[in-house]
């Protein structure tokens, strides 16, 4: 067992692990703990205030409530950064000799004026300005659309702060290439942490296709609307699952007998839907290297159709049906409707790089 220590600065509460960034952070913490690494966790949070599970994994947890006053939108800094600044955080980090692991550019405001004696690493979850501009393109509300665009402009300018880090851990191949080329610190490819230890996909056939996501976000809502246009012409049921259903999407769903909504509030409910679906449908209008719902589908589900915005790992893409247009998506569905599912060696190989313990060792070897 290791006697090493690390200080992690999280942009949100990693628990519950029910969205992409939280999943990566939570299972990273869990894997490092299993390697014997002692963790001091610093968390910026909004309304996610349940830390009980994390308290069993970390030595100490320091909480910092985000200050999201509207005036912070008028700073030269990105709103996502300005609301995550704390002198108390800086003082605590400096008082501890352990290396610092910063989750996301959003927490890098601490690097503006502070110089740390210990090594500092940044985990790049996205190319943040591309993510914000993607949200802007998907958003229909004029004010939110403008806000996301301006946020992206600020993030692009602020991104140069990464040169003050010693190490960059990048979550996808495309983003790894970008950060390696653009910034001076050593870049290391660190695949997504996702919590699955084995593939549990059921053989055989399911009776519906499934799309799931947070339907209050612009990209997921737009993707759900796209998939409705795909399935409205097909004689195969589509189930859309989420914790909230916007009125505009409800009105669209009600037009078609083969399309339905299922409200899910617990992970176990969603897992059952994924396991029993014949096809897990994934789509995004945002170019972002890795979306973790891909792994949820491949570790737990049968057939998977997606577009390349979901993931940039060639091995993962090779075990899915890739469809970019409505016509291509419909053709992929028609091809899979009658196709029995059986787990292939190709899927096992493709998912072999996504083992949390092995990926935690990458952090230990490069930072601790």
- Confidence class of residue 67 from pLDDT cuts 50, 70 and 90? confident
> Mind listing the pLDDT tens digit for each residue in 14-45?
999 988 899 999 999 999 999 999 999 999 99
Name the maximum alpha-carbon separation found in the chain: 63
DSSP 125-177: SS-HHHHHHHHHHH--SHHHHHHHHHHHHHHHHHGGGGGGSSEEEESSHHHHH
What pLDDT was estimated at residue 123?
A: 98
Shared fold status for 5-191+354-367 and 209-351: yes
pLDDT above 90 covers what percent of the chain? Answer: 90
Fold of 209-351: Rossmann fold (3.40.50)
Would the pTM of this model clear 0.85, i.e. be above it? yes
pLDDT score of 127 more than 90: yes
**Residue 77 confidence (pLDDT) above 50:** yes
pLDDT in tens, 297-326: 999 999 999 999 999 999 999 999 999 999
Give yes or no for residue 290 having a pLDDT over 90.
no
**Predicted local confidence at residue 160, as pLDDT:** 98
Q: What is the pLDDT of residue 6?
A: 98
Residue 203 CB contacts under 8 Å (≥ 6 apart), including other chains = 340, 341, 342, 343
Burial (CB count within 10 angstroms: exposed 0-12, middle 13-18, buried 19+), residue 260: middle
> Residue 215 in contact with residue 221, Cβ under 8 Å?
yes
Q: Binning pLDDT at 50, 70 and 90, where does residue 1 land?
A: very low
H or E, element range at 239:
strand 238-242
Indicate the domain borders of the chain. Answer: 5-191+354-367, 209-351
Contact 177, 229 (CB under 8 A): no
CATH fold, domain 5-191+354-367, is: Rossmann fold (3.40.50)
Mean pLDDT of the chain: 95
Give the pLDDT mean for 36-56: 95
């Amino acid at each position: 067992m290791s006697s090493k220590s690390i200080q992690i600065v999280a942009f949100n509460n990693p628990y519950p692990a029910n969205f992409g960034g939280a999943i990566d952070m939570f299972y990273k913490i869990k894997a490092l703990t299993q390697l014997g690494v002692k963790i001091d966790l610093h968390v910026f949070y909004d309304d996610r205030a349940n830390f009980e599970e994390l308290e069993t994994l970390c030595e100490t947890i320091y909480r910092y409530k985000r200050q999201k006053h509207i005036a912070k939108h008028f700073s030269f800094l990105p709103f996502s950064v300005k609301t995550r600044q704390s002198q108390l955080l800086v003082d605590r980090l400096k008082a501890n000799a352990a290396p610092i692991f910063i989750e996301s550019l959003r927490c890098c405001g601490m690097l503006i004026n502070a110089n740390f004696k210990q090594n500092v690493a940044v985990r790049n979850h996205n190319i943040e300005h591309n993510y914000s501009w993607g949200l802007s393109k998907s958003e229909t509300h004029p004010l939110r659309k403008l806000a996301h665009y301006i946020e992206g402009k600020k993030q692009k300018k602020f991104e140069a702060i990464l040169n003050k880090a010693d190490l960059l851990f990048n979550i996808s191949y495309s983003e790894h290439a970008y950060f390696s080329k653009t910034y001076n610190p050593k870049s290391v490819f660190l695949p997504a942490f996702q919590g699955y230890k084995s593939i549990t996909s059921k053989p055989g056939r399911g009776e519906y296709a499934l799309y799931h996501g947070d339907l209050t976000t612009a990209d997921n809502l737009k993707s759900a609307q796209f998939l409705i246009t795909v399935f409205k012409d097909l004689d195969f049921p589509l189930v859309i699952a989420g914790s909230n259903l916007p009125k505009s999407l409800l009105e669209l769903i009600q037009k078609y007998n083969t399309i339905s909504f299922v409200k899910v509030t617990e992970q176990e409910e969603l897992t059952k839907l994924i396991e029993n679906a014949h096809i897990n449908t994934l789509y995004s209008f945002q170019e972002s290297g890795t979306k973790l719902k891909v792994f949820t589908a491949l570790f737990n589900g049968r057939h998977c159709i997606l577009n390349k915005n979901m993931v940039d790992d060639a091995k993962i893409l090779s075990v899915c049906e890739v469809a970019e247009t409505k016509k291509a998506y419909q053709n992929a569905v028609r091809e899979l409707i009658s196709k029995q599912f059986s787990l292939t060696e190709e899927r096992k190989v493709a998912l072999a790089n996504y083992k949390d313990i092995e990926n935690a060792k990458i952090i230990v070897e490069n930072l601790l």
